[in-house]
Amino acid sequence: MRVSRLMLVTLRDDPAEAEIPSHKLLLRAGYIRRLAPGIYAYLPLMWRVLRKVSQVVREEMERTGALETLLPQLQPAELWQRSGRWAGYTDGEGIMFHLEDRQGRQLGLGPTHEEVITALAGDLLRSYRQLPVNLYQIQTKFRDEIRPRFGLMRGREFIMKDAYSFHADEDSLRETYAAMDGAYRRIFARCGLRAVAVEADSGAIGGSASQEFMVTAEAGEDLILTSPDGQYAANQERAVSLAPAATPLAGGALADGQGEPLSTPRQTSIEALSAAHGFLPCQVVKVLLLVARFEQGLEQPVLVSLRGDQQLNEVKLANALAARFGQTHGALLALAPLSEEGLIREGLQCLPFGFLGPQLDDRVLAGARQWQPTFLRFRDHTAASLETFVCGANSPDEHLVGATWAGLGQNPETLDLRSAQPGDRCHHDPAQTLEARRGIEVGHIFQLGRKYSTAMEARFATEAGGEEPFWMGCYGIGVSRLAQAAVEQHHDGNGICWPLAIAPYEVIVVPANVADDQQRNLAERLYDELGNAGVDVLLDDRPERAGVKFKDSELIGIPWRVVVGRGAADGRVELVERQGGGSEELAAGSLLEQLVPRIQAQRCGLSEG
Amino acid sequence: MRVSRLMLVTLRDDPAEAEIPSHKLLLRAGYIRRLAPGIYAYLPLMWRVLRKVSQVVREEMERTGALETLLPQLQPAELWQRSGRWAGYTDGEGIMFHLEDRQGRQLGLGPTHEEVITALAGDLLRSYRQLPVNLYQIQTKFRDEIRPRFGLMRGREFIMKDAYSFHADEDSLRETYAAMDGAYRRIFARCGLRAVAVEADSGAIGGSASQEFMVTAEAGEDLILTSPDGQYAANQERAVSLAPAATPLAGGALADGQGEPLSTPRQTSIEALSAAHGFLPCQVVKVLLLVARFEQGLEQPVLVSLRGDQQLNEVKLANALAARFGQTHGALLALAPLSEEGLIREGLQCLPFGFLGPQLDDRVLAGARQWQPTFLRFRDHTAASLETFVCGANSPDEHLVGATWAGLGQNPETLDLRSAQPGDRCHHDPAQTLEARRGIEVGHIFQLGRKYSTAMEARFATEAGGEEPFWMGCYGIGVSRLAQAAVEQHHDGNGICWPLAIAPYEVIVVPANVADDQQRNLAERLYDELGNAGVDVLLDDRPERAGVKFKDSELIGIPWRVVVGRGAADGRVELVERQGGGSEELAAGSLLEQLVPRIQAQRCGLSEG
């Protein structure tokens, strides 16, 4: 391809809309253009990258025996109602675009395809003899993100590879899950990405186990916690750890454990309270009030007790609530702090926020309009294990010192509800502490179990002659996000340094001066030869200054540049590698034999830095 | 690929939902499954066909220098408002799915991409030096069809190749339009389709010239009119012809041309009137009343006069109305018969339908609530050229005989508004008469001119130093529709006969009895050898009876079948060609040298029957 025909438009300055390097570079180098928030056009260079990434994904999926398919993007609401996710994806989190067709039927724009594929599998797969099957597709998906940002990283329209496997038993599911883990590692390696596998929360997809693949990068939206020995790695949403040990409260518990009142005027924060009285935050039990709203109408006040130095992990709390109420009350639509406005709306008295304790009486909810009249009470392990503590007295400007759970008459369910933090000790080896890295999620694999097949009555005939719901797995890769993550990991001050396996073109031939016949002719000849050798090659035939062309080739990130300059008279050219910038002069006649084998090696993605 | 791993599910009976052969066969052979009206899942076999069709399209587009891209499916309403098409595509014809996002912004689901690409071109293409450019994409499109049917033929979610070209002048546009015409002919030929190019109406896309490519098939929804010499071919929506000559009315015109009243009780149809009084339908002027509703509120009554033996072509009338009012009143949203209910709603007197004449007085509209108070009057050439005629008297049970246009005091604008019919004489050679064929539209190319670039202010700097809107063309192929059209043209009583170039697999190796070691081993060996030779090969390894496997292979339509049966003991196999059913016995050792060259020739699509 000739650069003059490539519709290449590069920008000198960073576009105002972009915050992170990869987003800036993709805009500046003419790879993408924004059409609306979170909605981008993939220009010809970008589309070549996406096709190369897709091809790597396809090859590795095929290698595991998966079958490619393409499922509809428009999905009938009834399917999602059968799985119980319609309300959660529309009214709840609201991430599914949805519309009414001209017949008044509700349709969603697929953010994922568990419902569609489960319905299809129930129709097509009738017998254990047909199992296992793993179906995948590479497709544009939609999510109505509240805050789309970072270009292709968090878009509202993006390309995914999603796969769904069906099994006769759990062992077979585990086997395919392991095969997908292997395929994913090969895919990321071939694309030149440094990616780590981490334990993950299964979120709205659900299921028993899941693992994310994170491309490590400063700009990553996810916090990953890892042990120095590499034995443990998890998304913070999911991570578990040993909290720092608490220092026992001086003076211990009072005999009755009900605590001694302490005047704490305006000391509504743990910090203020601790500073004023010489407590440590780890000696305080803090109380958070929230209200959980479920699909079928239930509004449940929740009281969570945490050790004062710990933070609530809302994902863990939401999972606990969904586990408790999902079957009976439908999807968890919202989980929000219990606010003063909420109390007023319910016709209730205001509460002494900042001075609350775990012993807060259910009577404060009596007469609520919508809310359940009793708290669902949880405490985190760290709070539960305090023998004696400081807590709010449930009246203004007053705390209790030396309280115990028994003394307060409280024994709420104890769960892991805290956010693991960098510096926490590891479960598998308390001598190690968790380290933090930022990551970009590019893949996520799930053991779904029988959640969808049971809900949607997708069954097969077993070998024993019975009927059972399928065991299922699902496996996603963010194809467009992966492409941008590659830029985030591979760029320098001059532009993008594409890993060769996913570069839009592998080589650019640059005649320094196209007005010079010798240079132009040699460049044309090398361009033809490289093309005939199966190399994806560009010829920068524009009548621009050499410096402009070099700058553009570095910005767009072509892995190899062949410069045909004054040396052309002696049949010599310069070969420059984008990553690292190493250059060498060589005879034009030996270019192919020197360059082609290196390109072939780099196509496997294994020699990538 | 082994058939046992292919998730192949064939049905014995025709599914109730399907009406035409290709739709029945794609369902029965396990290529597609319906998820909702007009919305289908492409199962693995279908997806392979679609990928092969796409690859042919891609190769031929690349050959012309077009650049592949991918544009968003979600499109902001503002872009469509700028081109003036939002109202027509949503409230009007209503074929664009649309929704509101969580920020309350209106988005449409792209049925086509003129708006998006024109906005992008205005941003990226600044100078004549960058022109011409032709950008294409292969993508799922959406249309909220009132009556989706025939499987992939008229779906609500379907795959299109659409291309858009940008030019500095009209000559350059014509050049690319001609290049696309050539590319389309090659694409259809390579896919094994018999397709004809016909003049077409440009419809909602607009522009000055357009041409459709029709796959001829009984089940086609379009009527094509062609001249026996092949010089003329057009979609009936667009076709022009010479109407049969009219027989002059006996007795001629009365002196004043106002016509003689004739009592015609209950003779409201042309047929009844003609039969009762010995007229010919071609001696009558019939009158049709319609109301045209435009985007900006105009509701215009229209009076159309036609010769009694002719039919109104509503597409031609709609084009005439859009040309007259589009600039000032926006898109034509609806064109419907003026009905009695309409008159009542407007507070008007009922009209003597069945007895109307061209001289109907505008006073019948006086005092209308929404409608304009005067008729827009058109007549077809066939009506205009009648020297004297019969027409309604505008009072019940009465017609006029021997009227003339002058005598009635009428001189409405004369246009081509009639539907050309099979049997009409051709314009280019009145000795020939038009013949009818049915066709499936698989491609449509348009010279758009400057309609979109002017509306959306997409301009470039000209060589002369000025600024002008681009000249544009657009070019579509229905990829999923093409695949089904291929089945419509290539099937027999036993199933599909795929043209090899787009068959999901090229060869199927069928061991007659997999329990026979010799047969199984030879089949496996041939399967491996064919695969290594680059052939897309299936091995039917299922423990089914040979007859079942033969039936399935014919139903799914694999072009070549290699049967490994009893002859395996002597190293002999049977080679069967699906299309035609010819078979030959040959030595297994010579299979490759005999079969591979034939497959290679068929891949070009040129040896297709």
B496 within 8 A of B555, measured Cβ to Cβ: yes
**Mean pLDDT over residues A119-138, rounded?**
96
CA-CA-CA-CA dihedral for A235, A240, A245, A250, to nearest 10: 90
- By CB atoms closer than 10 A (0-12, 13-18, 19+), residue A509 is buried
Q: Which fold has domain B498-603?
A: Rossmann fold (3.40.50)
Residue type, position A39, single letter:
I
Give me B383's structure tokens.
């009506």
pLDDT at B195 over 80: yes
List CB contacts (< 8 A) between A74 and chain B.
Answer: 36, 39, 97, 142, 156-157
Residues 144-183 of B with CB under 8 A from A: 144, 146, 156-157
CA distance B430 to chain A (A): 46
Q: CB of A344 within 8 Å of any CB in chain B?
A: no
Q: DSSP characters for B548-579?
A: HHHHHHHHHT-SEEEEE-GGGGGTEEEEEETT
Cα atoms in the 13 Å half-sphere on the side-chain side of B60: 24
User: What is the pLDDT, as a whole number, of residue A17?
Assistant: 85
Residue B453 phi/psi, 5-degree rounding, is: -65, -30
**Mean pLDDT over residues A569-579, rounded?**
96
pLDDT at B202 over 80: no
Collapsed DSSP state (helix, strand, coil) of residue A588: helix
List CB contacts (< 8 A) between B130 and chain A.
Answer: 7
Q: Distance between alpha carbon B587 and the CA centroid of its chain, in Å?
A: 48
B518: enclosing H helix or E strand: helix B517-532
Alpha-carbon distance A288 to A386, whole Å? 17
Q: What is the pLDDT of residues B415-451, one digit of tens each?
A: 999 999 999 999 999 999 999 999 999 999 999 999 9
Residue indicated by tokens 């693995």: B44
Give me A42's structure tokens.
């993939």
pLDDT at A356 over 50: yes
Helix ranges (H only) for A139-269 are 170-190
Best residue in B28, B69, B130 for a mutation probing chain A (most A CBs within 10 Å)? B69
> How do the domains of chain B map onto residue ranges?
31-240+436-488, 258-415, 498-603
Mean pLDDT over all residues of chain B?
A: 94
Alpha-carbon distance A161 to A163, whole Å? 7
ipTM for the complex shown = 0.90
Alpha-carbon distance A156 to B192, whole Å? 39
pLDDT at A44 over 60: yes
Chain A CA closest to residue B131: A5
User: What is the pLDDT, as a whole number, of residue B605?
Assistant: 67
Residue ranges of E strands in A450-567: 459-461, 467-469, 471-478, 491-492, 495-496, 507-511, 537-539, 560-564
User: What is the pLDDT, as a whole number, of residue A606?
Assistant: 54
Q: CB of A518 within 8 Å of any CB in chain B?
A: no
B509: enclosing H helix or E strand: strand B507-511
Q: Distance between alpha carbon B238 and the CA centroid of its chain, in Å?
A: 12
| pTM of the full structure | 0.91
Contact B124 A99 (CB under 8 A): no
Confidence of residue B378 (pLDDT cuts 50, 70, 90): very high
- By CB atoms closer than 10 A (0-12, 13-18, 19+), residue B584 is exposed
User: What is the pLDDT, as a whole number, of residue B609?
Assistant: 37
**Mean pLDDT over residues B253-271, rounded?**
89
Alpha-carbon distance A469 to B362, whole Å? 71
What is the 3-class SS of B128-172, one letter each residue? HHHCCEEEEEEEEEECCCCCCECCCCECCEEEEEEEEEEECCHHH
Q: What is the pLDDT of residues A21-36, one digit of tens each?
A: 999 999 999 999 999 9
User: What is the pLDDT, as a whole number, of residue B562?
Assistant: 98
Cα atoms in the 13 Å half-sphere on the side-chain side of A516: 17
Give me A511's structure tokens.
């005649």
Contact A135 B99 (CB under 8 A): no
Q: CB of B45 within 8 Å of any CB in chain A?
A: no
Q: What residues contact B508, with CB distance under 8 A and at least 6 apart?
A: B3, B537, B538, B539, B540, B553, B558, B560, B561, B562
**Mean pLDDT over residues B80-91, rounded?**
91
Alpha-carbon distance B564 to B562, whole Å? 6
Q: What is the pLDDT of residues B315-345, one digit of tens each?
A: 999 999 998 998 899 888 899 999 999 999 9
Residue B95 phi/psi, 5-degree rounding, is: -90, -5
pLDDT at B264 over 80: yes
User: What is the pLDDT, as a whole number, of residue B14?
Assistant: 87
User: What is the pLDDT, as a whole number, of residue B607?
Assistant: 44
Residue indicated by tokens 């000032």: B328
**Mean pLDDT over residues B35-64, rounded?**
97
**Mean pLDDT over residues B37-41, rounded?**
97
pLDDT at A4 over 80: yes
CA distance A525 to chain B (A): 20
Q: CB of B59 within 8 Å of any CB in chain A?
A: no
User: What is the pLDDT, as a whole number, of residue B252?
Assistant: 66
Alpha-carbon distance B479 to B54, whole Å? 7
Q: Report the share of chain B in percent with pLDDT over 90.
A: 90
Contact B97 A74 (CB under 8 A): yes
How does B463-478 read in b/e, with b if 16+ C-beta sit within 10 Å?
eeeeebbbbbbbbbbb
Chain A CA closest to residue B45: A69
pLDDT at A16 over 90: no
Q: CB of B35 within 8 Å of any CB in chain A?
A: yes
Q: What is the pLDDT of residues A466-511, one digit of tens each?
A: 999 999 999 999 999 999 999 999 999 999 999 999 999 999 999 9
Report the CATH number of the B258-415 domain: 3.90.960.10
Residue indicated by tokens 């490759």: B592
Report the CATH number of the A495-603 domain: 3.40.50.800
Instruction: Return the minimum-mean-pLDDT range out of A1-5, A198-202, B433-437, B511-515.
Output: A198-202
- By CB atoms closer than 10 A (0-12, 13-18, 19+), residue A534 is exposed
User: What is the pLDDT, as a whole number, of residue A607?
Assistant: 44
- By CB atoms closer than 10 A (0-12, 13-18, 19+), residue B494 is middle
User: What is the pLDDT, as a whole number, of residue B606?
Assistant: 54
Give me B247's structure tokens.
């027989």
Alpha-carbon distance B47 to B483, whole Å? 10
pLDDT at A609 over 50: no
Q: CB of B511 within 8 Å of any CB in chain A?
A: no
Give me A50's structure tokens.
């996406």
Sheet holding B258-263, edge to edge: B258-263, B398-403, B389-395
Chain B CA closest to residue A109: B109
Q: What is the pLDDT of residues B451-469, one digit of tens each?
A: 999 999 999 999 999 999 9
pLDDT at B247 over 60: yes
B525: enclosing H helix or E strand: helix B517-532
Q: DSSP characters for A345-413?
A: HTT-----TTS--TT--GGGGTT-SSS-SS-EEEEEHHHHT-SSEEEEEEETTEEEEEE-HHHHT---E
User: What is the pLDDT, as a whole number, of residue B394?
Assistant: 97
Nearest to A75 by CA among A66, A67, A85: A85
Cα atoms in the 13 Å half-sphere on the side-chain side of B464: 5
Instruction: Return the minimum-mean-pLDDT range out of A78-82, A207-211, B324-328.
Output: A207-211
Alpha-carbon distance B282 to A565, whole Å? 80
From residue B99, alpha-carbon distances to A93, A101, A140, A293, B119 in Å are 17, 10, 18, 26, 21
Chain A CA closest to residue B97: A101
Q: Report the share of chain A in percent with pLDDT over 90.
A: 90
**Mean pLDDT over residues A594-602, rounded?**
95
Alpha-carbon distance B575 to B562, whole Å? 5
Q: Report the share of chain A in percent with pLDDT over 70.
A: 98
User: What is the pLDDT, as a whole number, of residue B47?
Assistant: 98
List CB contacts (< 8 A) between B116 and chain A.
Answer: 35, 41
Cβ contacts below 8 Å, chain A against chain B, sum to 150
pLDDT at A252 over 70: no
From residue A131, alpha-carbon distances to A61, A135, B514 in Å are 17, 12, 20
**Mean pLDDT over residues A62-91, rounded?**
95
Confidence of residue B16 (pLDDT cuts 50, 70, 90): confident
Best residue in A70, A141, A161, A542 for a mutation probing chain B (most B CBs within 10 Å)? A70
A590 within 8 A of A560, measured Cβ to Cβ: no
Q: DSSP characters for B344-400?
A: HHTT-----TTS--TT--GGGGTT-SSS-SS-EEEEEHHHHT-SSEEEEEEETTEEE
From residue A66, alpha-carbon distances to A50, A132, A530, B540, B552 in Å are 20, 10, 34, 18, 22
Taking domain B31-240+436-488, whether its CATH number is 3.30.930.10 is answered by: yes
List CB contacts (< 8 A) between A107 and chain B.
Answer: 36, 97
Q: What is the pLDDT of residues B272-315, one digit of tens each?
A: 999 999 999 999 999 999 999 998 899 999 999 999 999 999 99
Between helix A517-532 and helix A591-603 the angle, nearest 10°, is 40
Neighbours of B551 (CB within 10 A): 16
Q: CB of B73 within 8 Å of any CB in chain A?
A: yes
Q: What is the pLDDT of residues B539-589, one digit of tens each?
A: 999 999 999 999 999 999 999 999 999 999 999 999 999 998 899 999 999
Please provide the distance, in angstroms rounded to a whole number, between the alpha carbons at the two ends of chain B. 27
- By CB atoms closer than 10 A (0-12, 13-18, 19+), residue A409 is exposed
Give me A504's structure tokens.
């839009």
